[in-house]
Structure 1
Amino acid sequence: MSAKKLLQPLAAQLHASFSASGRPYAHQHIHQLLHAAIGSVSPEVDSQDNLPIQVCRDSDRQYNLYETIERAKKCLGLTDLQAVGVAEEVIEVLRAAGIGVNQVRLLLDPSFTSKTRKKAFKALCKNLDLNELGDRFVPKTATLAIAAGMAPPPKITWKDRFALAADFPIRGQSQLVEMVTRSECYLWVFPPTDHQATASASHDRYFGEQTHPSAEMGMGFTIIDSGSTRPKFPMLSKQPEETFIQYSLSAPMWFWRAQSNTWRLGNILRSKILDGAPWHNEPLSDVLPGGLKSLPRIYGCTTCQTLFVEKHSGYPDVPTQCQCGEASSTRDQNESPALNS
């Protein structure tokens, strides 16, 4: 969904609120205020850069109060006091809707040029500005902490992300390699940010007010299995046999702590999508219209403990063979015993 369509209901809501208060501001001016608050600068700039403005449920984002006040004074001709009230209402509506730039996608998505990425994060860093004197808030997201120089950037190539995601826990085998070897699984890149089960891929938090700052951030992908069939009414023996499909998802997290100053594998956040469950139906087609077959199959090698995917035109930079040199094209012919059992 485009930013304009996503913000249109909020603009209508604000227009109705302002009109009821005797302030019938034009929709175009309200859109200016919304973009100023988000940090995407303006509708014109957003249209040019096509930033990922989305409903982001798993990020503690900040909005640009100072710039919104200044834009309200300029566009609407308000006094300082009037502009503060309008700006606070705009930000309250955005915060309630959870709308902002998906900063994890902005950092990781190669479709954004380096120039666009730098310009966008420079604007987003202004969300930390408290006033014209340069006083600043502490970032609440890992991405802004990186952009502001408070944390180093992680290694973001697919090879580096897969290597870290497949890292060993304290003891035992890599959880993700074991998972994709045991079950048929798929790589889901930048899944929807507004769904509870998939929002973890864009998780974005920075804890800068601690004695020792830390941060955690999603790697921009989740791994989803092919689903398992479950009975809808297991306790009712007389009920006709009805089933639903439960999909299990795993999203690896980066974790950083100031003492070590190194990004490592943190949690692997688990979630489920219950397609057809009588108590909480979540059709997979609502969040993945193309179905699992629209995603690349992901594999793991238990010898070198690496992840790789089948060749797919939509993912040219993702590894398609393990470190042992086994290509994904031969994997289906030599499935592990776990899959054939």
Structure 2
Amino acid sequence: MPTGWTRWGLVALAVGIAGLTLWLNASATRQRTASEGGSERTALTEPLGSGVVSAAAFGTEVLWAEGPALYKRTIGAADGARTALASLTFRPTQVLWSPSGDAALLRKSGEPDTWVHARWENLSAAASLHFGILTPSWSTDGKRILYSFSGADATPIAVANPDGSNWQVVMEPTHTIDRIWWPGSGVYAVGRDYTAKPPRYVRILMSSKRVETLAEHNDVNQMGVVPNPAGTLAVLDGTSDTTPTLRLTTLETGSVEALGVAGVTDRAAWQDDATLIAVTADNAVVSVAVATKKITTLGRWPATVPVPDRLIAATKERLVIEANGELSEVPRALIKSR
């Protein structure tokens, strides 16, 4: 027969084992909840920066501005490290990154605003472009820029070196094209003509110096363009009677067709040249095989993660998003059907 002390010892041991079991079960539940995207906020969603301006992705790297500082990071880097590219003397309100990642065009507030070209290796040689330039675009090799600017009687389109030197007018459209995207080989560009009624997307044919209408839009404030990495296709914002929809244009032909996705270009990114990832108007996450127009629903946006204002990048493992001025990486494993 156990003595009184032995009996109490056995009771204490049983209580200890029960407590350990409860703790292990609770820990497993927390881990399972995290992996399933449950109600707990987890470290699986990795914050990259706050107060972010003009985040963009090039290949496996994402670049962004925070105040006067510019950073880059490899998507999915295990150590969470980011690299400081430059510390500026002003806070840019917009950054257009060179495709090579070693320079940028920086919009500087003023009367009027100006664009500054800066290379990280020699910030002291940063050069202001001439006044009147509307939003420019880089060539794919980063050696030239294409832009429109306010002239006396028209809004010419010009090409120049990135620092604004050796600029040359290539055409003088009859309408003001205030935003230009110059993807791929540079043979074609896509522009936004906000002076047309209604506003319209245009295709700019560089060799023949012509401008053609691609599609109309009823809201100039929501007219984005997202070219694929090869610069052969681009997604455009579209409208319908009830909700915004995405459209696809083939730059070589100028054809435009509906993708069948309710959403906006701010929340769309190319996984590769032929696959588009989008967060829809009702917060579903879909994959679109653009060659066949096949739409696959990957799941719902996780309740533990802020709904993105912008989808910056999409890889097979991760999404990079901007939400409420904060930049984060979201593992795609968190996106599940529910």
Q: Give the TM-score taking structure 2 as reference length.
A: 0.27
Which is higher, the Rg of structure 1 or of structure 2? 2
Report which of the two has the higher share of helix: 1
Q: Give the TM-score taking structure 1 as reference length.
A: 0.27
